[in-house]
Amino acid sequence: MNKPTTSQKQSTGIVPPKGRLGVLIPGMGAVATTLIAGVNLIAKGHGRPIGSLTQMQKIQIGNGGTSRYVAIKDLVHLTEPTDLVFGGWDITPENTYQTACNANVLSREMLSKVRRELEAIAPWRGVFDQAYVRNLKGTHVKTGASKMDLAKALMNDIKRFLADNDLERAVMLWCGSTEVYSETGLVHQTLESFERGLNDNAPEIAPSMIYAYASLMCDIPFSNGAPNLSVEIPALVDFANRKGIAIGGRDFKTGQTMMKTVVAPGLKTRMLGLEGWYSTNIIGNKDGEVLDDYGSFKSKEVSKGRVLDSILQPDLYPELYGDYHHKIRIDYYPPRGDAKEGWDNIDIQGWLDQPMQIKVNFLCRDSILAAPIALDLILFMDLAQRAGLNGIQEWLSFYYKAPTMPDSREPEHDLFIQHLMLTNMLRSLAEEEALDQSDLGENVAKLVVR
């Protein structure tokens, strides 16, 4: 690794990473195993961490003639991926190697190079309720008289994992299946009502919320990669704020939504109108099977759906964006496995209301796009915790389809503004000057200085 030069400052206020970092993952499926296999393969020189900002990106520091580009990992003190220790839960007992083979994201030839490391990680029994993921059956699950008992069992797993691996720090990242759509109710409002609900087996408390609660109880930052509610309920947000724990979510922004948050800002910047945006996907992995149930799909639909309105500002531009049709479909199609294909048909309007169309056909690999996001979130959540940034980490909105906000403001969805938020937080942590203009190119900065 390149060591920071003397001109590259590290903030003195951040506790440097000491020892290894535990990574606790509820849901050891395609994303989790692609992440773990990838970290091990990269450590052995069998691949590059493409798509990861923490590993590859250089950002502009300073404006005008004195500006320079510094790798993020040289600007702020991040844990090395080789210092990550993985553990987690699943509702099926297969070890990480077996699951990675079944997920069929990486070839057997690649997986064979890290087979020993992957076979050493087998999931602990999960906390599961089929009412929340109707298309799956749990065969490797915890039992307990109450949801509070299950939460305590998770806390015991966490404590054992930390002790066995001699760890002082950990991060939890929900990579479990998408739970059915639900909204916050009375039981989710305060820690008291939530804990009462755990004791009384309140049906409104989803398994992902029990993991989030266990994580916060153990002072461990929690991030949610799926679209369902987990930590984003008032009781747990308030608890995280009071305990000083970093949290964030939700839903990794990987394929189609990532493209949407790139194209839509372009249309708006150019003042091109929008009549309709039809997005459809075929996907054949276990995630696709889960999303084949309407309850889980609704969580995904809601998380994907808010993006366009937020970027296009129909209130400000009713004549261009006040009445567009937005349709999202996901079809489960087993032959495709993890190789998702997304189509977008975008009906736009130009000069004199003349219609035009844009077609986007993204042949992506779901978990290949998600794994670097998962790695960055783990490393940045740990950084946030060490830097004393408590509660919801708005600066990490870049990574989520439906960023959770610390207050009643609408989240930012424009990928490039999100990127500026992220990099400015890093600049600030490194005690460098924030860029108030786009950091997309030196020319922009020069123009501003003049």
Q: How far apart are CA 129 and CA 137, in angstroms?
A: 9
Stretch of 11-19, 56-64, 258-266, 282-290 lying at the interface with ligand NAD (CB under 6 A):
282-290
Closer to ligand NAD by Cβ: residue 129 or 309? 129
Give the CA distances from residue 165 to residues 19, 77, 331, 439, in Å, rounded to whole numbers and listed in that order: 10, 22, 42, 41
- Of 249, 253, 240, the residue nearest 385 (C-alpha): 240
CA 438 – CA 416 distance, rounded (Å): 8
Task: Report residue 124 as tokens.
Answer: 């602990």
Residue 88, beta-bridge partner list: 25
Quick note: the x/- pattern for ligand NAD over 7-46, rule CB under 6 A, is -------------------xxxxxx---------------
Pick from 251, 233, 174: which is nearest to 208 by CA?
174
Q: Pick the binder of ligand NAD from 40, 224, 230, 285 (CB under 6 A).
A: 285
Q: In this structure, what token pair is assigned to residue 117?
A: 């490391």
DSSP 326-364: EEEEEEE-GGGTT--EEEEEEEEEEGGGEEEEEEEEEE-
Residue type, 432: E
Least distance from ligand NAD to the Cβ atom of residue 364, Å: 8
Question: How deeply is 279 buried, as exposed, middle or buried, from its count of CB atoms within 10 A (0-12, 13-18, 19+)?
Answer: buried
Residue number with CB closer to ligand NAD (77 or 250): 250
Work out whether 432 is an interface residue with ligand NAD (CB under 6 A): no
Query: Exactly one of 207, 249, 284, 372 binds ligand NAD (CB under 6 A); which one?
Result: 207
- 61-100 binders of ligand NAD (CB under 6 A): 89-92
Name beta bridge partners: 350. 354
Give the residue, chosen from 121, 369, 381, 422, that forms a contact with ligand NAD under the rule CB under 6 A.
369
Stretch that binds ligand NAD, among 54-62, 63-71, 248-256, 319-327 (CB under 6 A): 248-256
> Strand pairing partners for 345?
278, 359
Q: Least distance (Å) from ligand NAD to the CB of residue 230?
A: 10
Burial class of residue 199 in the structure, from the number of CB atoms within 10 Å of its CB (0-12 exposed, 13-18 middle, 19+ buried): middle
332 touching ligand NAD, by CB under 6 A: no
- Cβ(383)–Cβ(61) under 8 Å? no
Q: Are 155 and 218 in contact (CB under 8 A)?
A: yes
Q: Which stretch binds ligand NAD (CB under 6 A): 239-247, 249-257, 262-270, 427-435?
A: 249-257
Figure out which of the listed residues 367, 390, 404, 423 binds ligand NAD, where binding follows CB under 6 A: 367
CA atoms within 13 A on the CB side of 229: 17
* Spatial distance between the Cα atoms of 1 and 345, rounded to a whole number of angstroms: 43
Choose between 322 and 334: whose C-beta lies nearer to ligand NAD.
334
Based on CB atoms, which residue is closest to ligand NAD, 131 or 449?
A: 131
Binding mask 113-152 for ligand NAD (x = CB under 6 A): -------------xxx----x--x----------------
Binding to ligand NAD (CB under 6 A): which residues in 168-197? 175-178
**Cβ 16 vs Cβ 87: under 8 Å:** no
Residue 342 in contact with ligand NAD, rule: CB under 6 A: no
Give the side-chain half-sphere CA count within 13 A for 320.
20
- Choose between 28 and 389: whose C-beta lies nearer to ligand NAD: 28
Which x/- pattern, by CB under 6 A, does the window 212-241 give for ligand NAD?
Answer: -------------xx---------------
Q: Which is nearer to ligand NAD, 287 or 382 (CB)?
A: 287
- Closest residue to ligand NAD: CB criterion: 29
User: By CB under 6 A, how many residues form the interface with ligand NAD?
Assistant: 34
Residue 332 φ/ψ, nearest 5 degrees:
-80, 120
β-partners of residue 61 are: 68
Whichever of 133 and 312 has its CB closer to ligand NAD, that residue is 133
Please identify, using beta-carbon distances, which residue of 94 and 238 lies nearer to ligand NAD.
94
CA dist 315 and 268 (Å) reads 13
Measure the CA–CA gap between 396 and 72, rounded to whole angstroms: 14
Q: Find the shortest distance in angstroms from Cβ 249 to ligand NAD.
A: 10
Question: Does the protein bind ligand NAD through residue 106 (CB under 6 A)?
Answer: no
Least Å distance, CB 424 to ligand NAD, is 25
28, 211 Cβ separation under 8 angstroms: no
Q: Which is nearer to ligand NAD, 366 or 412 (CB)?
A: 366
Site residues (vs ligand NAD, CB under 6 A): 26-31, 89-92, 103, 126-128, 133, 136, 175-178, 207, 225-226, 251-252, 254, 285-287, 290, 366-367, 369-370
